[in-house]
Amino acid sequence: MLKSSKAKNMGNFPILINRDISCPLRKLSIQLYQETRILIETDTLNNILSIVKQGDAIVLLPLSLAINELTTADEHSHDIIYYEYKNNA
């Protein structure tokens, strides 16, 4: 889980998930947290990152995105197979 580096703890922050129903991060977030947290769908990674950086929610994302204003929210990690899009233009 990633959170804003400004947030002291993750408390009961809602968890953001992508609207893409085939997203493995969405699927795992639902599996792990649908009973204990509020899940909020959003359309784009940019929206997710913006909301998390503001300190209004947390998100399950690769640790490689824990840069600048984001940090890990807990010590848990999960092995997830996913694909990264690379623009070669």
The answer to whether the predicted template modeling score (pTM) of the entire model surpasses 0.85 is no
Beta bridge partners of 70: 4
What integer pLDDT is reported at residue 78 of this predicted model? 77
Neighbouring CB atoms inside 10 A of 10's CB total 18
What integer pLDDT is reported at residue 6 of this predicted model? 81
C-alpha distances in Å from residue 43, one per residue of 16, 51, 70, 79, 87: 10, 12, 19, 24, 20
Measured CA to CA, the distance from residue 87 to residue 38 in angstroms comes to 34
pLDDT in tens, the chain (89 residues): 788 888 776 678 899 999 999 889 999 999 999 999 999 999 998 999 999 999 899 998 888 888 778 888 877 777 777 666 677 76
What integer pLDDT is reported at residue 89 of this predicted model? 65
